[in-house]
């Protein structure tokens, strides 16, 4: 099955009379269970592509379908709903809420989705167990290491059982040991059939994926070929 499909996707930003074509003519299909890395220099369009894949923004031309939904046709509210239901985000800065425990942070996407409290708690505990943090559920972010905070963020990304896990420089703030832990976790998720898209500057990180896409000046360069890991 297909998770996402971009056809001739373009994204332009306008500031006054100036127009920047951040993405141009992106054609890309990603299937269920694929593990894809996206690389490119600063300013090449990685963040813009990530925002579109994650339904944080919509294309200015072309079409983006996520699990068959034409994202360009949605209202802001529908887009937010699709984002919360279908996409799990992992960010460089973890983006955990400082005043909430690990458990409450992981419960958040379920709270937005209207899942009742007892089911929320059960699923959040299972997700934290999945990332090896059963003994840290009551800790707040500042009481956790960077690697542990990123694992809480991965639990939050998993808890809604999303169609797509989107990770933007997930190891950018981690030491080498935590980087290894997080990449091992991504390998496990991939082995379990999850669909992962990872944006990174680091060749060693990208090399863990099945397929590496390179973006330059808003366009995908190398034909997207699957390789065996």
Return residues touching ligand ADP (CB under 6 A).
13, 15, 20, 22, 40, 42-48, 56, 89, 91, 93, 95, 168
Q: Could you tell me which of 78, 55, 31, 28 has the C-alpha nearest to residue 218?
A: 28
Least spacing, CB of residue 49 vs ligand ADP, in Å: 7
For 84, residues 6+ apart whose C-beta sits below 8 A from its C-beta are 109, 112, 113, 160
Closest to ligand ADP by CB, 22 vs 137, is: 22
Closer by beta carbon to ligand ADP, 47 or else 60: 47
Min CB(53)–ligand ADP separation in Å: 12
CA 61 to chain centre: 22
Q: Which is nearer to ligand ADP, 56 or 126 (CB)?
A: 56
Smallest gap from Cβ 20 to ligand ADP, in A, equals: 5
Q: How far is the CB of 188 from ligand ADP (least distance, A)?
A: 22
The residue (of 43 and 117) whose beta carbon lies closer to ligand ADP is 43
Nearer to ligand ADP, 33 or 100 (CB): 100
Rounded Cα–Cα distance for residues 94 and 200 (Å): 15
Q: Which is nearer to ligand ADP, 33 or 147 (CB)?
A: 147
At 147, which helix (H) or strand (E)? helix 146-158
Min dist CB 14 to ligand ADP, Å, is 8
Short-list 94, 106, 188, 180, CA closest to 145: 94
150-209-86 Cα angle (round to 5): 60
Distance CA 73, CA 66 (A): 12
Question: In the bound complex, what is the minimum distance in angstroms from residue 210's beta carbon to ligand ADP?
Answer: 22
58 and 37 in contact (C-beta within 8 Å)?
no
Is residue 94 a contact partner of residue 150, using CB atoms and an 8 Å limit? yes
């Amino acid at each position: 099955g297909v998770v996402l499909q971009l056809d001739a996707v373009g994204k332009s930003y306008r500031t006054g009379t100036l127009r920047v074509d951040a993405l141009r003519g992106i054609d890309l299909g990603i299937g269920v269970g694929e593990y894809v890395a996206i690389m490119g220099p600063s300013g090449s369009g990685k963040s813009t592509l990530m925002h579109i894949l994650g339904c944080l923004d919509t294309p200015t031309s072309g079409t983006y379908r996520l699990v068959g939904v034409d994202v360009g046709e949605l209202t802001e509210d529908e887009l937010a709903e699709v984002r919360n239901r279908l996409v799990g985000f992992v960010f460089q800065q973890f983006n955990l809420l400082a005043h909430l425990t690990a458990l409450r942070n992981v419960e958040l996407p379920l709270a937005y989705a209207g899942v009742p409290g007892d089911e929320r708690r059960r699923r959040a505990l299972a997700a934290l167990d999945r990332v090896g943090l059963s003994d840290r559920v009551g800790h707040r972010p500042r009481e956790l290491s960077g690697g542990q905070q990123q694992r809480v963020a991965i639990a939050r990304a998993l808890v809604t059982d999303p169609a797509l896990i989107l990770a933007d420089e997930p190891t950018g703030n981690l030491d080498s040991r935590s980087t290894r832990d997080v990449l091992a976790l991504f390998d496990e998720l991939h082995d379990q059939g999850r669909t992962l898209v990872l944006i990174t500057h680091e060749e060693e990180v990208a090399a863990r994926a099945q397929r590496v896409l390179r973006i330059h000046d808003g366009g995908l360069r190398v034909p997207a070929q699957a390789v065996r890991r």
